[in-house]
Amino acid sequence: MTDPIILWGGGVAATFGAVVGSFLNVVIHRMPRGESLSFPPSHCPRCAAGIRPWDNVPIISYLILRGRCRACSQPISPRYPLVEAAMAGLAAGTWLQFGPSIAFGVYFVFLAGLLAITFIDLDHKIIPDSLSLGGTVLGVAASFFTGVGWKASMAGALLGGGLLLAVALGYYALTRREGMGLGDAKLLAAIGAFLGWQAVLFTVFVSSVVGSVVGISVAVWQRSDLRFEVPYGPFLALGGVLYLFWGQPLITWYLSVLG
């Protein structure tokens, strides 16, 4: 940790992560609407004024502008700097874990995709195929370079996709209602492709436990029944992140608790 290259690299990775986070805000806003990611340039969603480059510095501009648009003084959503800070933190963590390697690049892209999917699913209750299916293909291709290996990667994609597809079909057969979307199955396939089949079991376990706790809490809070829709994608993404950073130690700990 005291290695200066690792520390400096972490700072550079965090800065690059914040810049990519800024782009992810554009992806999150525009991709589900089918809009171009590059045109028109960034503008205030309230007054449509163009955002100048010096007002578009990740995290810092939000703080300097105190969360308000320079042109119309309307508040800017704190989600923008939040996404930037989250990607900065994930990038630094990936650097500390993998150092200068192809795996760093692969998992940087993987985490950026999960972050975009999380907020698109929260906003629109959809997961774009270009991210989930595109991620599955990329994950299998990347497995040759990350140490996961193509067999574990392919097995992960098939297990992840098949498992949730079976749950979705079973739920529909029992209730005639669509519970889990196919988007979730494609997302879990992508997580399996990037991390291997062991990660699929881990992610299903973590996401169902955390998802249940959050779902029940929200139901109690809103005094509603459990039939409201909580998007499941963010919990799958959380499981994937936890597995990437702490999967092996957590599995070892869990098995030791079981005895």
Check if the beta carbon of residue 192 is closer than 8 Å to that of residue 201: no
Distance of closest approach, residue 71 Cβ to Zn ion, in angstroms: 5
Out of 12, 47, 169, 209, the only residue in the binding site for Zn ion (CB under 5 A) is: 47
Say whether residue 64 binds Zn ion (CB under 5 A): no
Size of the site for Zn ion (CB under 5 A): 7
In the bound state with Zn ion, the residue whose beta carbon lies nearer, of 9 and 67, is 67
Distance of closest approach, residue 82 Cβ to Zn ion, in angstroms: 19
In the bound state with Zn ion, the residue whose beta carbon lies nearer, of 81 and 196, is 81
In the bound state with Zn ion, the residue whose beta carbon lies nearer, of 46 and 151, is 46
Say whether residue 65 binds Zn ion (CB under 5 A): no
For the chain, how long is the longest CA-to-CA vector?
62
129: nearest Cα among 117, 118, 139, 146: 117
Check if the beta carbon of residue 190 is closer than 8 Å to that of residue 173: no
Out of 69, 168, 191, 238, the only residue in the binding site for Zn ion (CB under 5 A) is: 69
Out of 19, 71, 165, 182, the only residue in the binding site for Zn ion (CB under 5 A) is: 71
Out of 46, 52, 68, 151, the only residue in the binding site for Zn ion (CB under 5 A) is: 46
Segment contacting Zn ion (CB under 5 A): 42-50, 76-84, 134-142, 192-200? 42-50
Say whether residue 51 binds Zn ion (CB under 5 A): no
Given the rule CB under 5 A, which residues bind Zn ion? 44, 46-47, 49, 69, 71-72
